[in-house]
Structure 1
Amino acid sequence: MMYPPIHLPIVKVTVLEDRALVERHAEVVLSPGAQLVRVEGLSPLAVDRSLQAQLTGGSVAQARLHRAWKQKPREGSPEGKTEPRRRVDTLEAEWKRAQVDVQRLQSRVEVVNAAREDVLRAIAEFAGAGEARPESWHEQLEAVRASTTAAEEALRQARQHAERTRQRLVEAQAALAQGEQPEPLLVTTAELQVEHPTGGSVSLRLTYLVPCAVWRPAYRATLASTGGGESVTLECEAVVWQRTEEEWKDVELLLSTARPTLGAAPPRLVEDWLRLRDKSEQEKHTVDVAVREEVIQKTGEGGAHQTEELPGLDDGGEALTLTARHRVTLPSNGAPHRVPLFAFTAPAVSEFVGHPEHSPLVHRVARFDNRGPAVLLAGPVELVRASGYVGRAQLKFTGVGERLALGFGSEDTLRIVRQADVKYDTQRLTGRRTRTHLVKLFLSHTGERPVRVAIEERMPVSEVEAVEVKLLEEQTRPPPTKVSEEGILRFELAAPPRSQQELTLAYAVASSAKVSGL
């Protein structure tokens, strides 16, 4: 037995990286035994093999999608008229008014001609009776002639206007006939072969995958001053796009980083032959080295954790699922829609930090802990201070409780000028080469208040014994506050109002004679 099509509303949507899992659910009334149930209103983009149906108290023997082309019904209300249709209606009304004007002017011309005939007949009658009135007859003929000329000119212009309006109407009707062809509509229906022993009101659930849906995280960080210091309020939102040809109205929205289509396979094994050979005399006395730039791989503050599998969401290798705060409505228009996820406020410590090797500007950097309920995925973050919007940055992947740093714009009163010089020296007896780097930094402060500034510079780190990198402490003034294992030197300076300071950094790179590549 086949019942009329039923409609199951969308109650839950899980948006993945490049698709969405749609769930429809409702209570339906079934008869006992086997029957065919049709669920209408599905997206034409629904993936056939992903269709699944669940029936409480019964079984679903078969579930498949059926698609059929139907003519889209025309809009009957005046609000639903298209622009070509409104143009045709306007020209039809204008053409009718033009025809009325032509008929009115034709009647006027006939009246003027009749008056002219009356004047000529009166002149003939008076002339036959021996009465001559040449001046009066001249005035009457001139008045009749002027009225006839004006009426005929108005009639001519009215006919031209009517003809132009008719031509425009014909063109508009042709464009309407060509543009408003019957538009086909692809109707998608889920056909379910179900069986229920008792029938009655049962719960029917339908799930399927659809493409053309995507989401990405976005953030908004606000730096504010509190009574005891500073704090950062971080708001996490999901920007969702969907063009699935179905509206998600008042649905429970979940955002997932899972990639169900990313297949996992063991690496392909290939033969790798290792061969031993003796070094040549030149190779025994030569060490090949090279200078390379390497990004410090970590998450959180200053992190550069990135995925190299596919562009898109970076979840750190573990699939995550985030839930929207409330039910949302997302139309199928392909426009971005922002959905709030969570927000938190954490105490922050801010300072002025400069990296003169990259920029002469000094930025205010705030450091705080991730106190949110979930990890922070990589995404853009809008930066806001008490003065308003200050810029946009990129937030790296940060775990729960991990510390992160955000730069909230540059300080106009602080500038750093960097000058670098390199000197080379080679010993004649041993052939040992020494390269001395001398970096001078000039910090200027034009503000009215004293501030503290942290300046970070770097020097290379050696990985081989034949190359030695040494910080020249005698020439480095002031001494660095901290030197990390990666070669990052941090200088902390106090900048008085309207002052200028000079900082000198010196380090030497020494290599033996057998080292090549430097």
Structure 2
Amino acid sequence: MLAAEIQTLTLEAPVSTVTLLEDRAQVQRLGKEILTAGLWRVQVAQVAPVLSDKSLRAEFIGTSAGARVNDVRVHRRMLIKEADRTGLVEQLKTEWRSQYEHYHVLSEDRHQLEAQFEQIGTILVKALQELPVDAAWGQVDPMAWRSQLQPIFQRLRDIRSDILNTYHAQAQLQEAIARLVTRINTEARPDSIYTAHLEADLEILQTGEYSLAFDYVVPNALWRPYHQAQLQIGDSPQITFRTDGCVWQNTGEDWHNVDLVFSTARASLGTEPPLLSDDLLNIREKSKRIAVELRDQNVKTTGLGTEQRSPTIDLPGVDDGGEVRTIRSLHKANVPSDGNPYRIPLFQFQSPATIEHILMPEVALQVVRKSEQTNQAIYPILAGPVDLVRATEYIGRTTVGFIAPNEKFALGWGTDANMRVQRTESQKREKNHLTQWNTITNTIHVFLSNIGEEDRTIALTERVPVSELEKVKIEVLQEETRDRLQPDANGFCNWRLQIPAYSQSKVSLVYKIIGAPDIEGL
């Protein structure tokens, strides 16, 4: 019995959809063809050579009751360019010889100029040595000396200028020769080019038009969120916030006119449980003295919160708030396989903004303009860099964390050049000889000057330490603190200052740290 004849076909199946993950991409190719009944071997050319074999899958989509995929595989081939078919190497070698000869000519000219410079310098030294002898014999003629020495000095300057010009020309020529040598070595070596194509064995029971989809995963492709915020300042300040997906790919296949889907899934994390290790417990005698230390603690994140917000964890790469999300690009895109970044628009929204000027002099002696707005999009804002545009002027870049939909967040828009800030801090230590308690009095003065012609409302924030021990007490002296202000639960003291144009203001904060005798580290 003779085996059935296998028909062959090269199928046009371009890339239609690419799902980008944190460190890889899933590619889908779609092809449509009229196939007669029988066995077929279908090939798809020019696919990514780096695709993962175990992720390769082929299936019929739509009405395919009379068709089946028996097998699908990838074939790779390495092409080696052995000969210089274009003659480029010979042209480069000819150019190299010409520049090398020119370099030697410049070297000879420079040696001659240096020899002349040395000879004229010797003549000048001897002429200067004769001047005291002439003066001793009473032959003092400054005009004659000037007329004799001035041409020599001029000649020295001219030769020195020629030497420097020759030196710079040689340096530039040497760099050009080095670039030529690099190009010659690159063009002369045999280049290895990898190509790959897909091959699928199909079984068709009845003649008809069939649609075939190929899916596979490729490395060397990734994406990260990139944002742009544009601030319009006026009677009603407004923020236009845009989110793009920045794509890099060097897979060996170009993506032309494809639908891009951006996913935050982390396939590389795996599902293996962590390794367990022994945790040894030791018993030691309790120390009679208590050592304290001052530490900083982050109180707020980028987002300013909503009515309800679930806790998130910080993960490397794309921060999605702990939930896998997918965002589809607004339009079809082209992403060549060159490793360069390409920004693809994802979504944008507009939100009313609240503008205020804030000052945290302990961190920076500058008044910063801050905007507070709400994420009006149906998607969350993923953590990433933000380009800041005020009106139509680019002013810098900042970063944001994960911002859920309908959550408020803040952006900084640079410093106010019309505000001058000075901060001084002093400390006084005392010890009660009767109770042996230690007292540290900290005094902070903040001076503000408005040198502009507009009034300013400044939100000033200072902080005092927050004690976690009963034997360490912290008290703010209201009599010596402006507005008799008391800190909040996190130790922040907030003032709202009205500073007219061309005026000054002063804020004082005084607090005490009182520690028991057995406290160390204050």
Q: Normalised by the shorter chain, which TM-score bucket?
A: 0.7 to 0.9
Select the residue among 262, 272, 275 that pairs with 1:255. 262
2: CA distance, partners of 1:460 / 1:82: 75
Select the residue among 294, 319, 329 that pairs with 1:324. 329
User: In structure 2, do the counterparts of structure 1 residues 428 and 326 end up closer, same or farther at CA, with 3 Å as the change threshold?
Assistant: same
2: CA distance, partners of 1:516 / 1:467: 11
CA offsets, 1:289-324, max 9 Å, x none? 221112225451499x996553x2222222221111
Q: CA deviation at 1:384?
A: 1.5
| Residue type at the aligned position of 1:332 | S
CA offsets, 1:428-461, max 9 Å, x none? 1211111111100000100112111111111111
- Which structure is larger by alpha-carbon Rg, 1 or 2? 1
| Residue type at the aligned position of 1:225 | I
Select the residue among 371, 393, 399 that pairs with 2:398. 393
User: In structure 2, do the counterparts of structure 1 residues 407 and 309 end up closer, same or farther at CA, with 3 Å as the change threshold?
Assistant: closer
Select the residue among 431, 446, 461 that pairs with 1:456. 461
1: CA distance, partners of 2:91 / 2:515: 84
Which residue number in structure 2 is paired with residue 163 of structure 1?
Answer: none
8 Å contact 2:302–2:402 — kept in the other structure? yes
8 Å contact 1:3–1:36 — kept in the other structure? yes
2: CA distance, partners of 1:354 / 1:200: 73
SS of 2:338 mapped into structure 1: coil
2: CA distance, partners of 1:458 / 1:242: 47
Q: CA deviation at 1:268?
A: 3.4
Q: CA deviation at 1:220?
A: 1.2
| Residue type at the aligned position of 1:233 | T
8 Å contact 1:478–1:504 — kept in the other structure? no
| Residue type at the aligned position of 1:349 | T
Q: CA deviation at 1:414?
A: 0.4
Select the residue among 485, 490, 493 that pairs with 1:486. 490
Q: CA deviation at 1:395?
A: 1.4
Select the residue among 207, 210, 218 that pairs with 1:210. 218
Which residue number in structure 2 is paired with residue 234 of structure 1?
Answer: 241
CA offsets, 1:141-192, max 9 Å, x none? xxxxxxxxxxxxxxxxxxxxxxxxxxxxxxx9xx989936775532211122
Q: CA deviation at 1:199?
A: 3.7
1: CA distance, partners of 2:262 / 2:82: 36
Which residue number in structure 2 is paired with residue 506 of structure 1?
Answer: 510
User: In structure 2, do the counterparts of structure 1 residues 264 and 177 end up closer, same or farther at CA, with 3 Å as the change threshold?
Assistant: closer
2: CA distance, partners of 1:176 / 1:464: 73
User: In structure 2, do the counterparts of structure 1 residues 216 and 247 end up closer, same or farther at CA, with 3 Å as the change threshold?
Assistant: same
CA offsets, 1:191-243, max 9 Å, x none? 2222232242111000111111121111111111354x211111111111111
Q: How does 1:366-377 map to 2 (within 5 A)?
A: 366-377=371-382
2: CA distance, partners of 1:178 / 1:355: 56
| Residue type at the aligned position of 1:492 | R
1: CA distance, partners of 2:510 / 2:402: 35
2: CA distance, partners of 1:233 / 1:374: 15
Where does structure 1 lack aligned partners over 5 or more consecutive residues? 91-171
Select the residue among 236, 240, 265 that pairs with 2:272. 265
Within the alignment, does 1:61 sit opposite 2:70 as a pair? yes
Select the residue among 246, 250, 269 that pairs with 1:243. 250
Select the residue among 226, 230, 237 that pairs with 1:222. 230
2: CA distance, partners of 1:245 / 1:192: 21
CA offsets, 1:471-501, max 9 Å, x none? 2211111344x84322122111001111111
Which residue number in structure 2 is paired with residue 130 of structure 1?
Answer: none
8 Å contact 2:23–2:219 — kept in the other structure? yes
Q: CA deviation at 1:406?
A: 0.5
User: In structure 2, do the counterparts of structure 1 residues 47 and 387 end up closer, same or farther at CA, with 3 Å as the change threshold?
Assistant: closer
1: CA distance, partners of 2:313 / 2:82: 48
User: In structure 2, do the counterparts of structure 1 residues 465 and 82 end up closer, same or farther at CA, with 3 Å as the change threshold?
Assistant: farther
Which residue number in structure 1 is paired with residue 55 of structure 2?
Answer: 50
Q: CA deviation at 1:381?
A: 0.9
CA offsets, 1:388-419, max 9 Å, x none? 12211111211111111111111110021110
2: CA distance, partners of 1:13 / 1:501: 59
8 Å contact 1:243–1:333 — kept in the other structure? yes
User: In structure 2, do the counterparts of structure 1 residues 483 and 87 end up closer, same or farther at CA, with 3 Å as the change threshold?
Assistant: same
8 Å contact 1:479–1:491 — kept in the other structure? no
1: CA distance, partners of 2:441 / 2:87: 77
Q: CA deviation at 1:380?
A: 1.1
CA offsets, 1:360-406, max 9 Å, x none? 11111000111112111111111121361221111121111111111
Where does structure 2 lack aligned partners over 5 or more consecutive residues? 1-5, 96-179
Which residue number in structure 2 is paired with residue 36 of structure 1?
Answer: 41
Q: CA deviation at 1:25?
A: 0.5
Identity %: 34
2: CA distance, partners of 1:177 / 1:487: 66
Which residue number in structure 1 is paired with residue 157 of structure 2?
Answer: none
2: CA distance, partners of 1:177 / 1:497: 68
Q: CA deviation at 1:328?
A: 0.5
2: CA distance, partners of 1:357 / 1:181: 60
User: In structure 2, do the counterparts of structure 1 residues 89 and 233 end up closer, same or farther at CA, with 3 Å as the change threshold?
Assistant: same
Q: CA deviation at 1:265?
A: 3.1
1: CA distance, partners of 2:347 / 2:225: 11
User: In structure 2, do the counterparts of structure 1 residues 256 and 85 end up closer, same or farther at CA, with 3 Å as the change threshold?
Assistant: farther
CA offsets, 1:48-104, max 9 Å, x none? 11111112423222222111234679999xxxx7855877999xxxxxxxxxxxxxx
Which residue number in structure 2 is paired with residue 95 of structure 1?
Answer: none
Select the residue among 295, 298, 301 that pairs with 1:295. 298
SS of 2:237 mapped into structure 1: strand
User: In structure 2, do the counterparts of structure 1 residues 465 and 8 end up closer, same or farther at CA, with 3 Å as the change threshold?
Assistant: same
2: CA distance, partners of 1:268 / 1:513: 45
| Residue type at the aligned position of 2:258 | V
User: In structure 2, do the counterparts of structure 1 residues 309 and 344 end up closer, same or farther at CA, with 3 Å as the change threshold?
Assistant: closer
1: CA distance, partners of 2:299 / 2:261: 33
User: In structure 2, do the counterparts of structure 1 residues 11 and 428 end up closer, same or farther at CA, with 3 Å as the change threshold?
Assistant: same
Within the alignment, does 1:354 sit opposite 2:359 as a pair? yes
TM-score computed with the length of structure 1 as normaliser:
0.75
| Residue type at the aligned position of 1:45 | V
Q: How does 1:100-119 map to 2 (within 5 A)?
A: none
2: CA distance, partners of 1:450 / 1:307: 42
8 Å contact 1:417–1:443 — kept in the other structure? yes
SS of 2:318 mapped into structure 1: coil
For the aligned residues, what is the CA RMSD?
3.0
8 Å contact 1:243–1:334 — kept in the other structure? yes
8 Å contact 1:421–1:439 — kept in the other structure? yes
| Residue type at the aligned position of 1:248 | W
User: In structure 2, do the counterparts of structure 1 residues 68 and 263 end up closer, same or farther at CA, with 3 Å as the change threshold?
Assistant: same
Which residue number in structure 2 is paired with residue 335 of structure 1?
Answer: 340
